[in-house]
Amino acid sequence: MSVARVVLVVPADAAGRRLDRVVAAARGVGTRSQAKQLIDAGCVRVDGAVCKASHAVRAGERVEIDAREPEPLAIEPEALPLVILHEDADLLAIDKPAGMVVHPAPGARRGTVVHALAHRLGALPTTGAAERPGIVHRLDRDTSGVLLVARTWAALEGLARQFRERSIEKRYVAIVHGRVARARGTIDRPIGRHPRERKRMSVRSRRPRAAVTDFEVLERLPDATLLRLRPHTGRTHQLRVHLAALGHPIVGDRVYGGRRGRGGRVPGLADFPRQALHAEEIRFRHPTTGQPLGVRAPLPSDLMGLLTRLRQVAGSAAETPRSA
């Protein structure tokens, strides 16, 4: 395994910051989670000593980072189908289907996007997370849509920087329970770990972080609303938590959906088998050319089918005279 060494001296304006934040901002590292993995693996030293990710750096400290270069994957490739939306020498954009996990994790050791990428592309760049080669962002298992994958170190670094700077624009569509009254709006509610259930996120967290989501009504339907969403931040489960907090949880969301039995007039609405959330489009600057690039994923057949049923019910209701 080859190593890319990065050495930096902490400037005065960075004094007091967490070590993982300083490392994440360094050239060739990537995201903050990737920085923490490097720190936990002992690949980061401060004035020659291994420190924790929470270490508050001081001006003048010398930080040495050993970032891993691309190497053959220790993941067995699997010949799984991938729908390619865009491909060039630097990156890949796929249309991730609902039900497919992005990378290996407890309970999902095989059949992931990473296993499929290993079969198609072989070695991909990684920064300390061997199970996440090329991955610069994620989608939940049951969220479909556009997913970006970096094929080179330069692309990994460039895309990670854009995500950190929040210059990448993501648009989602969702079908939510109930009639959303406002045509558009912004949900500005910080999100953090649920105070009692650690696997869930909440707007009532004891240590929340800023989270902002714009929404726009595309269509009002019986017992449901079709929304377009634009998250300005990338918190875990952000859209699902924000919409639940708004009182309009995403259809099919078993974690944040609240009470069951919603949507009784529409067959399949109350028991839709996954969260009705789709990553419709992502816009960014190509990490090599700098040119604007947009990638869209069409609405999948299960969501199209649900919309068709909702529209059929709406049509029938319009044709039925109201009783006096």
C-alpha dist (Å) from residue 158 to 4, 21, 146, 179, 271:
16, 17, 18, 40, 41
8 A C-beta contact, residue 163 and residue 31: yes
Last residue of a domain, one of 104, 135, 165: 165
Host domain of residue 223: 169-319
Task: Report the phi/psi class of residue 99: left, alpha or beta, with left for phi > 0 and alpha for psi in -120 to 50.
Answer: left
Chain-centroid distance of CA 238 in Å reads: 9
Mean per-residue pLDDT for 63-90? 80
What is the tens place of the pLDDT at every residue in 263-301?
A: 566 777 888 999 999 999 999 999 999 999 999 999 999
**Burial (Cβ within 10 Å: 0-12, 13-18, ≥19) of residue 214:** middle
Could you tell me if residue 185 is inside a domain? Answer: yes
What is the tens place of the pLDDT at every residue in 129-168?
A: 566 777 889 999 999 999 999 998 889 889 988 998 999 9
Task: Determine whether 142 is an active site residue.
Answer: no
CA atoms within 13 A on the CB side of 55: 23
Is residue 5 very low, low, confident or very high in pLDDT (cuts 50, 70, 90)?
Answer: confident
What is the tens place of the pLDDT at every residue in 168-220?
A: 999 999 999 999 999 999 999 999 988 888 778 999 988 899 999 999 999 99
Whether residues 294 and 211 fall in one domain: yes
C-alpha dist (Å) from residue 148 to 135, 137, 210:
7, 7, 24
Last residue of a domain, one of 142, 165, 188: 165
Could you tell me if residue 77 is inside a domain? Answer: no
**In the β-sheet with 62-68, what is the strand arrangement from edge to edge?**
3-9, 62-68, 44-46
Whether residues 308 and 225 fall in one domain: yes
8 A C-beta contact, residue 46 and residue 61: yes
Question: Residue 28: which CATH number?
Answer: 3.10.290.10
Task: Please pick, among 20, 95, 140, 253, the residue that the annotation labels catalytic.
Answer: 140
Could you tell me if residue 101 is inside a domain? Answer: yes
Number of structural domains the chain divides into? 3
Question: Residue 150: which CATH number?
Answer: 3.30.2350.10
What is the CA angle 278-281-287, rounded to 5? 130
Whether residues 222 and 238 fall in one domain: yes
